[in-house]
Amino acid sequence: VLIVGELINASRKAVGAAIETGNPVDIEQLAVRQSAAGADYIDVNAGMFVGREAEYLQWLVSVVQAVVDAPCCIDSPDPAAIERALHVHRGTAMINSISLEKARHDALLPLVAGSGVKVVALCMSDEGMPATAADRLTIAERLIEDLVRNNVALDDIYVDPLVQPVATRDDFGLGVLKAVDAVMTGFPGVHTICGLSNISYGLPERALLNRTFAVMAVARGLDSLIVNPLDRHLMANLTAARTLAGGDEFCEKYLDAYRAGLFDFEKNP
Amino acid sequence: VLIVGELINASRKAVGAAIETGNPVDIEQLAVRQSAAGADYIDVNAGMFVGREAEYLQWLVSVVQAVVDAPCCIDSPDPAAIERALHVHRGTAMINSISLEKARHDALLPLVAGSGVKVVALCMSDEGMPATAADRLTIAERLIEDLVRNNVALDDIYVDPLVQPVATRDDFGLGVLKAVDAVMTGFPGVHTICGLSNISYGLPERALLNRTFAVMAVARGLDSLIVNPLDRHLMANLTAARTLAGGDEFCEKYLDAYRAGLFDFEKNP
């Protein structure tokens, strides 16, 4: 399971403050800690700062890449901000995200077409948020076809079925699970990705719901997640799920994680 | 998710001792505690005691049903022992299990045919244990057809795909998940059930693997589990999974569990 570490987000108080004051220390620490905890990509988001987002996003990429080898997931709805961030990025970035919303789509497509960057394809259109699994799949199909036609490799596409709160509608979780299954079965080579925290919005014990949903999604084929890699319970569940889903010969990865002490919190639950 | 509480098993030291000395107190307590923790059926197993299994199994059913309303899951490979236990059982029992092994199958079928009891259909045949999802499905199909032909209602059939250690073969977990999906999709009305502990055999942090696998199986459609209902982490995961899998309107069941304090251990993980 590919892990995108979500913690460098301006909407988090300490991160917002670090960005505003131009103090790199907290940002560097979050990059290093997430990378050490297993993050394959470091998400950077400065969406809070209207007008200065492009400048701040570029700064975040520079600060992060000065201390870790992991590439960034550049998280913005603004093509101009993304372009500027890509300009200083080393290695293969991920862009989060393109969608079927016309303005966003048309402005972002030229940045993505034939560029070799990885792109999150968010299941959202100008008709609004998808309600059912079928709605999600319809948008996913159109996005995949569109991206492939524009010289984006299947392996560079990460479909995000758009997780919405299960407290709002009781089949929102199931809809995402079914959409993941349908995309992974119907479009071999394409990846699926999602953020988790929306699923538990408005409910108590959100970490329990988030990590349970992560495991359920992995069981249906999800191969990428935007999460907090410092959540040890979640990461332990994902390590176990990866082994249980097959392909961990002799359970070597699981045993390595055990020996590295990743499950030590289990002793005093 | 239907829960079968697995703790009254003679292979557990305290239970074996209670059975041998005819002391009902520990058995009663295990029945009451499992039922209070959410067990829908109480499994009873006296398989350790060759020669006296039938007598002990009958005693266990009497002791359990004297203190809880939940029916028993009568867990034995011996049709004579099951018959004697059924004789004293009130309500609709579950039998664990019939299989395609000829001797076991032919002896057990008359007890099950048209009787209205619920029956676990274990994916095992005289050719040995199934290795792949396809092997499991072949046996499941033959068992379902056979049981239906003998007047067992689909709703009374619980297919057990036979969980084997992922440490033995890295796709044993995936094989079970795929078989669950195929049975739930291909035979509407039939249930699926499994025990968990075999999945983690030979590995460290077994409880973590067991509860992660339970959530993965529920995500693929599994609707019944043979587990330790006193494992609070497991039960919390299952409560969350049930809500996330849809059908928990306004998350009422989840919120009830929260208010009842079932997630309290989360505070100090």
CA distances from A260 to A39, A253, A254, A255 (A): 16, 10, 10, 8
User: Any chain B CB within 8 A of the CB of A213?
Assistant: yes
Contact across the interface for B209 and A233, Cβ inside 8 Å: no
B120: β partners: B96, B158
Contact between residue B185 and residue B221 where contact means Cβ atoms under 8 Å apart: yes
**DSSP collapsed to 3 states, chain B:** CEEEEEEEECCCHHHHHHHHHCCCHHHHHHHHHHHHCCCCEEEEECCCCCCCHHHHHHHHHHHHHHHCCCCEEEECCCHHHHHHHHHHCCCCCEEEEEEECHHHHHHHHHHHCCCCCEEEEEEEECCECCCCHHHHHHHHHHHHHHHHHCCCCHHHEEEECCCCCCCCCCCHHHHHHHHHHHHHHHCCCCEEEEECHHHHCCCCCHHHHHHHHHHHHHHCCCCEEEECCCCHHHHHHHHHHHHHCCCCHHHHHHHHHHHCCCCHHHHCC
Chain A residue at shortest CA distance from B177: A219
User: Any chain B CB within 8 A of the CB of A171?
Assistant: yes
Q: For B57-73, what is each residue's pLDDT tens digit?
A: 999 999 999 999 999 99
Dist CA B169 CA B64 (whole Å):
38
Dist CA A118 CA A155 (whole Å):
8
Q: What is the pLDDT of residue A267?
A: 61
Would the pLDDT of A140 be above 90? yes
Q: What is the pLDDT of residue A265?
A: 78
User: Any chain A CB within 8 A of the CB of B201?
Assistant: no
Q: Tokens in use for B191?
A: 């249930």
User: Any chain A CB within 8 A of the CB of B216?
Assistant: yes
Residue recorded with tokens 């100090």: B268
Q: What is the pLDDT of residue A70?
A: 97
Mean local confidence (pLDDT), A115-125 = 97
Q: What is the pLDDT of residue B265?
A: 78
Q: What is the pLDDT of residue B87?
A: 96
End-to-end Cα spacing for chain B: 25
Q: For A199-232, what is each residue's pLDDT tens digit?
A: 999 999 999 999 999 999 999 999 999 999 999 9
pLDDT band at A162 (very low <50, low <70, confident <90, very high): very high
Among A170, A210, A222, the residue to mutate for chain B (most B Cβ within 10 A): A170
Measured in angstroms, the CA of A188 and the nearest CA of chain B are apart by 17
Nearest 10 degrees: Cα torsion B138, B141, B143, B144 = 170
Would the pLDDT of B269 be above 60? no
Contact across the interface for B244 and A166, Cβ inside 8 Å: yes
CB-closest option in A177, A219, A266 to B208: A266
For chain B, give the percent of residues with pLDDT over 90. 96
Contact between residue A198 and residue A165 where contact means Cβ atoms under 8 Å apart: yes
Would the pLDDT of A269 be above 50? no
How many angstroms from the chain centroid is the CA of residue A203? 22
Global model pTM greater than 0.90: yes
Would the pLDDT of A268 be above 90? no
Among A180, A184, A205, the residue to mutate for chain B (most B Cβ within 10 A): A205
Nearest 10 degrees: Cα torsion A144, A209, A94, A119 = 10
Mean local confidence (pLDDT), A89-98 = 97
pLDDT band at B171 (very low <50, low <70, confident <90, very high): very high
ipTM above 0.90 for this complex: yes
Would the pLDDT of B226 be above 90? yes
Contacts of A265 (CB under 8 A, 6+ apart): A232, A233, A236, B269
CB atoms near residue B39 (< 10 Å) = 27
Would the pLDDT of B192 be above 80? yes
Contacts of A241 (CB under 8 A, 6+ apart): A1, A214, A215, A218, A219, B212, B216
Q: What is the pLDDT of residue B267?
A: 61
Mean local confidence (pLDDT), A177-203 = 97
Contact across the interface for B244 and A209, Cβ inside 8 Å: yes
Dist CA B199 CA B172 (whole Å):
8
The H or E element spanning position A98 is strand A94-98
Mean local confidence (pLDDT), A228-245 = 96
Q: Tokens in use for B121?
A: 């259909």
Peptide bond into A76 cis (omega under 30): no
Contact between residue B16 and residue B10 where contact means Cβ atoms under 8 Å apart: yes
- For A102-247, where are the E strands, in sequence order? 118-122, 157-160, 191-195, 224-227
* Polymer length of chain B: 269
The H or E element spanning position A137 is helix A133-149
Chain B contacts of A220, Cβ < 8 Å?
A: 219-220
Contact across the interface for B212 and A217, Cβ inside 8 Å: no
Q: For A6-45, what is each residue's pLDDT tens digit?
A: 999 999 999 999 999 999 999 999 999 999 999 999 999 9
Dist CA B97 CA B113 (whole Å):
13
pLDDT band at B213 (very low <50, low <70, confident <90, very high): very high
Q: For B88-112, what is each residue's pLDDT tens digit?
A: 999 999 999 999 999 999 999 999 9
